[in-house]
Structure 1
Amino acid sequence: MNRLVSIVSFVVFPLVVQAQSFVTDRPMVHDPVMAREGNMYYMMSTGRGLQMAESADRKTWRVWRDVPLLDEIPAWTHDSVPGFRDHVWAPDIIRWQDRWWMAYSCSTFGKNTSAIGLVSADSLRPLSADGRNMIKWRDEGPIVCSKGKRDNWNAIDPNFIIGEDGMPWLVFGSFWDGIQLVRLDSTMHMARPAYQRTIARRVTNGRENPVEAPFVFRHDGWFYLFVSWDYCCRGMESTYKVVVGRSRTVAGPYLDRDDKDMAEGGGTLVIEGDKKRYEAAGHSAAYRFDDEDIFICHGYSIADKGASVLVQKKIKWTEDGWPEIE
């Protein structure tokens, strides 16, 4: 695809003349996250420039075709990640200090030369009447980058969490040395002095570490770390599942229900494919909307021959404080 480079060193997508949208109660998404502003919910997910959808009730979604959430991708991403073009992975978004902050993943399959970029905006009210993306994103540069043969971790799959001190942290990672935790500063970049540690790994067959897609959810004095085990992106051959551990502090350690450290392979099962509706399910997020805790992920739909669709479930908490998905 041809690209135009602007004078501010951004790569700009071609203009969409007539944006098209459709409404569905079964959106096909990959790596979904959500945010709410006013009376609207916004869903962001993997896709060209990131896919976006909006809903007033989280039941029916208006999905915008050919309207990327990031209609400008900074040129630095292409310098940092050779081979990366415009297929952006696994975003996360948070409201902090009266501003929206969104992290996104730039990578290529099977390599750990990757980057997590950051943009910010005042508002998420994204569309004009004709479907143009009106969010005024500000490029905030990279948060963290990894490089093959230099780093034994992978800078993808970001998730923001506000720690017990009120400051932001970032969990991220997949495979290689597993899930990483870093401390951020007030600009949402790496704090100094640097703090980074591995908080979840799962070595199998003496070599592979199939763990990724971390998400930390705070509930009743605990930090719950959800991660996905095994393999995504294979349609009906996918084996994704989600496990969880918890900690009293954001820095961990995160222990499962049997008190096994997730950094040593621990994890209590939350959801997997039921082999009736979903062959596999993973890459999760959790939110409290009003008085309800919800869990979302994507599931590989058996009815749709392995297509990836949105899964939403209520979280029920056990007496001893563990999440169960209804």
Structure 2
Amino acid sequence: MKRLRTVTLLAAAVVALLPATARADVTYPDPQPVTGQQIIHDPTVIRLHSGDYVAYSTGGVIGARTSKDRVHWTDAGNAFAEPPSWWYEYNDTGDPWAPDISYRAGRYWLYYAVSSWGTNHSAIGVATSRTGLPGTWTDHGKVLTSETTDTWNAIDPAIVRADGRLWMSFGSYWSGIRMVELDPRTGRAAEDATVHHLATRPDEPYAVEGPYVVKHGRHYYLFASYDACCSGVTSTYKIRVGRSTSVTGPYTDSTGKPLLEGGGDLLLAGHGRHVGTGGQSVFRDRGQDWLAYHYYDADDAGTPKLGLNALTWKKDGWPVVR
């Protein structure tokens, strides 16, 4: 969850210059009503084999929420009781960001990032669990790292399987969104693995991050968060999407503009009290795709809260938030 705070003022200034009619042309659905513990940031959600739901997020030692019905959420502590010692190589507080949960090979896999604001001295780590519940995770250390000599940033991981192979999209700012193949046995990237380039923007500071790739039909869809988060009601986060017939791209939007050239269809933006929608992930529940994200509640001093919307697909294959 790499954020450059100075982007917020610049993005807000740009929005302020747009005509009011241009900003009001599109309407977006509100998130479904949720109750209980709603505070969350960068959520990743899965329905466990038990039938219950768990959401992990930035905050705490990977904060956890649980639910029996996807509506009422309970604070369930943290994935880990204490930060693994190696996290402190990347920030003084052992603070993890933007987790991603998935299931394969009889285990749940939890990927996450550790870094600090304004640097790409970063690492992505992985842990596994038989149940997926907080307090049951075993950490396995680093999956991929980046340093200040790299042009990309090893944060915001998300896993996707394609043609029998395992891939991880990641990244923010610097040169944008990247992807690397993982060893399905260890869940780690090979030392000499190719780092593919999926999306960026032509304008500094290249404000695109938090990728999530989903297969639908014959296409892979890349969802990403654009502009600035983490500033409460002045956040300008929004979710854009592009697609490709190959998991490694090239990704384009519905007009054919490459995401490597700043393209991307606007899927969900702030509206009403729901400001700065982003930090998204996608999960499947009983045959229905769902978009999970956070927004900043303008009616509650900009508190980050859980947004959940059904994700449906038009006849031409492009996603729609319901």
Where on the TM-score scale, by shorter chain, does this alignment land: which range? 0.7 to 0.9
Give 1:91 deviation, angstroms: 0.3
In structure 2, give the amino acid aligned to 1:152.
Answer: T
Structure 1 unpaired stretches of 5+: 1-22, 127-132
Asked which structure has the greater RCO (Cα within 8 Å, sep 6+), the reply is 2
In 1, the alpha carbon distance for the partners of 2:123 and 2:192 equals 20
Q: Deviations over 1:11-48 (max 9, x none)?
A: xxxxxxxxxxxx93461100000112121000000111
Partners of 1:217 and 1:287 within 8 A in 2? no
Unaligned ranges ≥5, structure 2: 1-33
Cross-structure match for 2:146 = 146
1:138 offset after TM fit, Å?
2.0
Question: Is 1:323 matched up with 2:319?
Answer: yes
User: In the TM superposition, what are the counterparts of 1:92-107 in structure 2 within 5 Å?
Assistant: 92-107=100-115
Cα deviation for residue 151 of structure 1 reads 0.8
The structure 2 residue matched to 1:29, chosen from 27, 40, 45, is: 40
Q: Does the CA-based 8 Å contact 1:224-1:245 persist in structure 2?
A: yes
**2:279 is the counterpart of 1:269:** no
- Give, in angstroms, the shift of residue 306 of structure 1: 1.2
Q: Does 1:226 align with 2:234?
A: no
> Structure 1 residue 76: deviation in Å?
2.1
Q: 2:80 aligns with which of 63, 66, 70?
A: 70
Match of 2:286 in 1: 290
TM-score, normalised relative to structure 2: 0.86
Q: Once the 2 structures are TM-superposed, how far is the Cα of residue 301 of structure 1 from its aligned partner?
A: 1.0
Secondary structure of the residue that 1:77 maps to in structure 2?
helix
Q: Is the 8 A contact 1:242 1:282 kept in 2?
A: yes
Which position in structure 1 is the counterpart of 2:155? 156
Would the aligned equivalents of 2:87 and 2:95 in 1 still touch at CA under 8 Å?
Answer: no
Query: Letter of the aligned partner of 1:257 in structure 2?
Result: S
Change in Cα spacing, 1:140 to 1:267, as seen in structure 2 (3 Å) is: same
Aligned equivalents of 2:37 and 2:242: distance in 1? 30
Question: SS where residue 78 of structure 1 aligns?
Answer: helix
Q: Which structure dedicates a bigger proportion of its chain to helix?
A: 2
SS in 2 for 1:73: coil
Equivalent in the alignment of 2:301: 305
For 2:99, the aligned partner's letter is P
Contact 1:286 1:295 in 2 (8 A): yes
Partner secondary structure for residue 118 of structure 1: strand
1:200-279 matched pairs, under 5 angstroms: 200-204=199-203, 207-274=204-271, 276-279=272-275
Matched, 1:43 2:55: yes
What is the identity, as a one-letter code, of the residue corresponding to 2:53?
Y
Question: Relative to 1, partners in 2 of residues 1:260 and 1:188: Cα closer, same or farther, differing over 3 Å?
Answer: same
**Which residue of 2 is the match for residue 172 of structure 1?**
170
Deviation at 1:193, TM superposition (A): 4.7
How far does residue 168 in structure 1 lie from its aligned partner after superposition? 1.0
Q: Contact 2:37–2:65 (CA<8 Å) still a contact in 1?
A: no
- Separation in structure 1 between the aligned mates of residue 198 and residue 296 of structure 2, nearest angstrom: 27
TM alignment of 1:104-143, pairs within 5 A: 104-126=112-134, 133=135, 135=136, 137-143=137-143
**C-alpha separation in 2, matches of 1:302 and 1:52:** 24
Q: Which amino acid aligns with 2:277?
A: A
Change (3 A) 1:125 1:213: closer
Asked if the contact 2:112–2:156 (Cα under 8 Å) also holds between the matched residues in 1, the reply is yes
Identity over aligned residues, as a percent?
37
Q: 1:48 to 1:125 in 2, by over 3 A?
A: closer
How many residues align? The count is 287
Find the counterpart in structure 2 of residue 184 from structure 1: 182
RMSD of aligned Cα (Å):
1.5
For 1:58, the equivalent position in structure 2 comes to: 70
